[in-house]
Amino acid sequence: MNPVYATSEIRAIESLSGDADPPLMARAGLAAAEAIRDHHADGMRDILVVAGPGNNGGDALEVAVHLKRWFYRVTVVLAGDRSPPPDAAAALSKWTGAGGEVLDMIPAGGRWQLVVDGLFGIGLQRPVTGRYAALIARINALGAPVAALDVPSGINADSGAVMGVAVRAARTITFIALKPGLLTLDGPDHCGALTLATLGLDAAGLRPARGWTLDAAILDQVLKPRPANFHKGRAGSVGILGGATGMVGAALLAGRAALKSGAGRVHVGLLAERAPDVDAMQPELMLRSAAAVLELMVESSEAAARVPSKGAVLLAGPGMGRADAAKRVLARAIKSGALLVLDADALNLVAGNRHLANAVARRAAATLITPHPAEAGRLLGIGTTEVQSDRVGAAVDLAKRFNADTVLKGNGSIVAAPDGRYWINSSGNPGMASAGMGDALGGIASGLVAQGIEPINALLAAVYLHGAAADWLAGQRVGPIGLAAGELIDAARLLLNRHAVI
């Protein structure tokens, strides 16, 4: 899992690197030029380099110098004034000293096989407007693949938000370390393939990371083979609390996901007045009233405190609704000593009740919460737009406020721990934008926690596995369009067993 750094942290690393020789800008230019040569070489001779007014523009000019030396036909457009910062000014002198010309605008009728985007880097903090917005629109309209330097121009390096308008790159060559904005929100749609050029710096050695990417390594890290002498009691028990009238399916999906993630027993506690007695598609699930399952799991959690090999996990929220009966069940679940996973309407009830919120934050047993951006906004008392403008910050704030391991769902889901660490998930696809996917995630996380995996690791594994299952199905042409949560559950089980030798 690779370290991830915010803009302020990258600046600190640059400062700690001292007077690097050669300078970091020169290193960045060479690294990017080599990446361009390696990845875009076939039949490519004509290259347009668009350089901005700051140090990102200096990186672009360094790239232009190398490409010209390698006999590419390079056209350079310098946007902004001709008095850039000192390092960028030195790069401009290199370019003109090599006989290169500088244009003020992209020539009409030009044809290029590649565009190098060096307009704005990680320092962009306000929306792009005016001539710069027009220039980005022109780059996107050229029809040539774009190689962006550090971040695609117009993307906020910390949040992944489009700052008015943004370049759509085929590849982004990012420097020193990965940035959050490349991995979440709109970033992945704009950065294309990612190439990391460390510039010879050991970022983690200079400044310990608090963020990392989340990838398949987590499954190999936390999943262990089961011994031959094993029984269902050692795989733990999961109780689902939800399934109000009209939403029973949500609780059943969560139960199926918990069962197929390896939990030994799964009890589904339903709030619906006319609840089914059995799940005909998954008869192994034990269906009872929500009150009955709650009391059973409270007893199991007390037993688990005495017998560590047993795990009792409550998942509250799938199809729960917000009626008084749901609130009473939730309050009792929060007070219990069971490991607790909160999703969907359980989160909405907590957001709307100060006493419930305080009770969650004071819990002694581990708590996991799985909000989407709107639910996260309700929990934090802010709008969804504000959550999305700083997804990492919102996830970390939630984890600290509720003393809960947290996943903020979405493109590049953010998993955060109460101590401030965070991870950005690399798996998943748009096919997951369908009903029931959150119920499946809650069930997978509950099933893994019940088996004795440390809660934060169980949540990390569940989030990655959830997305990886959707990716596998898309590869099998089951989606992304029309992908159903029930299909994902079986795919997750398949991938789980590839990593856990039983």
Could you tell me the domains of the chain?
A: 3-209 (3.40.50.10260), 217-499 (3.40.1190.20)
> Is the link from the previous residue into 308 a cis peptide, with omega within 30 of 0?
no
CA angle 253, 256, 260 (to 5 degrees): 140
Q: Which of 80-84, 224-228, 340-344, 493-497 has the lowest mean pLDDT?
A: 80-84
- pLDDT interval class at 301 (50, 70, 90): low
Q: Please, what is the angle between helix 248-260 and helix 437-450, to 10°?
A: 40
- Residue 486 three-state SS: helix
User: Where do the DSSP E strands lie in 86-155?
Assistant: 114-118, 146-149
What single-letter DSSP state applies at residue 338? S
Q: Which of 5-9, 14-18, 258-262, 404-408 has the lowest mean pLDDT?
A: 14-18
Task: Specify the length of the chain in residues.
Answer: 502
State pLDDT tens for residues 329-338: 999 999 999 9
First and final C-alpha spacing in the chain: 25
**What average pLDDT score do residues 350-367 get?**
97
- Residues 6+ away with beta carbon under 8 Å from 156: 124, 125, 162, 163, 181
State pLDDT tens for residues 118-128: 999 999 999 99
- Residues 6+ away with beta carbon under 8 Å from 354: none
**What average pLDDT score do residues 340-365 get?**
98
pLDDT for residue 302 is more than 90:
no
**What average pLDDT score do residues 45-71 get?**
96
- Quote the pLDDT of residue 501: 57
d(CA 27, CA 80): 24
pLDDT for residue 44 is more than 90:
no
pLDDT for residue 400 is more than 90:
yes
Pairwise pLDDT comparison (210 vs 17), residue with the higher score: 210
pTM over 0.75: yes
